Amino acid sequence: MRRSLIPAGALIAAVAGSLVLAPAASATGDHGDNGTVKIHDSKTGEELRKNEPKVCTFYVDAFGFDAGQKVSWHIEAWANNDQEKGTTVKSGLITLDADGHERTEDMTLPNGQYKLFWNWEGENGRAKHKVFKTDCPPAETPGTESPGTESPGTASPGTESPGTPGTSETPGATPSATDSAPAGATPSASTGTGTGDLAETGSSAPTGLIAAAALALAGAGSVLVLRRRKGQQH
pLDDT in tens, 34-71: 899 999 999 999 999 999 999 999 999 999 999 999 99
Q: How confident is the model at residue 223 (pLDDT cuts 50, 70, 90)?
A: low
| pLDDT per residue as tens digits for the range 118-177 | 999 988 888 999 999 999 998 865 555 555 555 455 544 455 555 544 444 455 544 444
Strand partners, 113: 79, 133
Which residues in the chain belong to E strands, given as ranges? 36-41, 54-55, 58-63, 70-79, 88-95, 102-103, 112-120, 128-134
End-to-end C-alpha distance for the chain, whole angstroms: 222
Angle among Cα 94, 100, 101 to the nearest 5 degrees reads 65
Q: How many CA atoms lie within 13 A of 129 on its CB side?
A: 10
Question: Which residues lie closer than 8 Å to 109 by C-beta, 6 or more apart?
Answer: 75, 81, 89, 90, 134
SS (H, E, C) 8-73: HHHHHHHHHHHHHHHHHHHHHHHCCCCCEEEEEECCCCCCCCCCCCEECCEEEEEECCCCCCEEEE
Nearest to 136 by CA among 45, 58, 82: 58
SS3 221: helix
| pLDDT per residue as tens digits for the range 176-202 | 444 444 444 444 444 444 444 444 444
Considering only 16-20, 100-104, 131-135, which range has the smallest mean pLDDT? 16-20
Q: What percent of the residues of the chain are helix, what percent strand, and what percent coil, each to the nearest 5?
A: 25, 20, 50
Over residues 65-91, mean pLDDT? 95
CB atoms within 10 A of CB 32: 19
Q: How many CA atoms lie within 13 A of 132 on its CB side?
A: 25
**What's the pLDDT score for residue 33?**
77
Report CA 18 to chain centroid distance, whole Å: 72
Q: How confident is the model at residue 101 (pLDDT cuts 50, 70, 90)?
A: very high
**What's the pLDDT score for residue 125?**
81
Q: 50, 38 in Cβ contact below 8 A? A: yes
Distance CA 83, CA 85 (A): 6
Q: 120, 65 in Cβ contact below 8 A? A: yes
Distance CA 192, CA 182 (A): 20
Strands 128-134 and 54-55: parallel
Q: State the average pLDDT for the chain.
A: 71
